Amino acid sequence: MSKNDMLKEIVAKKKEKLAFAKIQLPEEELKVKAQGQPATRPFIKAITKERQISLIAEIKRASPTHGVIRESFDHKDIAKIYQDAGVQAISVLTEEDYFLGNISFLNDVKSATTVPILRKDFIFEPYQVYESRCFGADAILLIADMLTQETISGLIQVATSLGMDCLVEVHTEKELKKVLKLKEVQLIGINNRDLHTLEVDPKTTERLYTLIPKGKPVVVESGLRSRQDVSFLKILGVSAVLVGSVFMESENIRAKVEEVMGW
């Protein structure tokens, strides 16, 4: 399949993996397990602070655009560095084929930190929401591009019933309109990256942010690399930024976090 539709390719692989996971652990068993988990850490509350911009720092080993980003990769060590640097939340990429993640990273990162943990993956059915809760996620990412309005609503209901928050990500005006019609969406993410072509356009945020009702918290994702980028978004009124690659590429993660965030 051509690189022109990366999202389709990733989702097709994910569906195969999911079919296998369901054989190993049926949904009914997973539901019971999910109900018995300790209380979640409040994600939205952690990243929406008055007059400041919060950081959701991401742990990822690789990406479809750059291949392996960090050779010496220890997700637990990275989590501790992020925690010590004062991040408000941590995003963990759990997709296996293109980002070299693993769902087990969630529990590892959770036990190494005290901040809320976001599972970043390609989630399209309730099984994955229960799975996220069982492995320690406090919040999940939902990608509007790959989900119908009805599916988004249903997945948020499942997540809410388990005490988890949802970050609903959009990239176009059409996707944003779809999401704004849903009352249950409490947190919107603007992704500057087109998930089909993988190209990044920072102007995406400028176009979409003004269309979101004031008071609705917004997270900006992709292509953020400098203090200047973050300062601009803070002035705009954005609640939080999700940043990964620039930290993963850095020799000194903590120093890079402080530099980018101005801490």
Active site members: 58, 60, 120, 169, 191, 221-222
CA distance 77 to 73: 8
CA distance 124 to 128: 7
